[in-house]
Amino acid sequence: MNEQADLGDLLEARRRIVAAFEGIAGGAEALAARAALAADNERLRGEIEEERVANAQLRERVRALRERETQRLSLEEEVERLRAQVQALRAAQEAERAEVDAVLSELIPLVEEAQ
């Protein structure tokens, strides 16, 4: 009966060892899964940071484009104002030329008579 008890003890010890190794293997798998998740999380954090940088660059480009558009509109308004001034000066010049021509048309006969 001693041999059967020893065999029973050996089988029980083997069962416990197998159960322990299965527990260790399960723990190792869980650790490997956690390590993989941690690596994925780190990769995703890096991708998010890249997207944040790209987003900030795009916001800066949009701001610069809006600023240029505002400047362009201001310059267009200035050009239109200057065109209106030139047109007004041309009209004034034409009026003065007409006035000078009218004065000359009156003076020329008087000068010719005086000679």
Residue span of the structural domain in which 81 resides:
1-115
Give the pLDDT score at 43: 93
CA–CA separation, 43 and 40 (whole Å):
5
Structure tokens at 114: 């005086």
Q: Looking at the predicted structure, is the pLDDT value of residue 94 above 80?
A: yes
pTM confidence score: 0.53
SS3 86: helix
Confidence label for 10 from pLDDT (cuts 50, 70 and 90): confident
Residue for token digits 């610069």? 64
Count of domains for the chain: 1
Tokens 């004065």 sit on residue? 103
Write the pLDDT tens digit of every residue in 23-69. 898 888 988 889 889 999 999 999 999 999 999 999 999 999 999 99
pLDDT of residue 6: 79
Condensed to tens digits (0 to 9), the pLDDT of residues 69-83 reads 999 999 999 999 999
Q: Give residue for tokens 């003065």.
A: 96
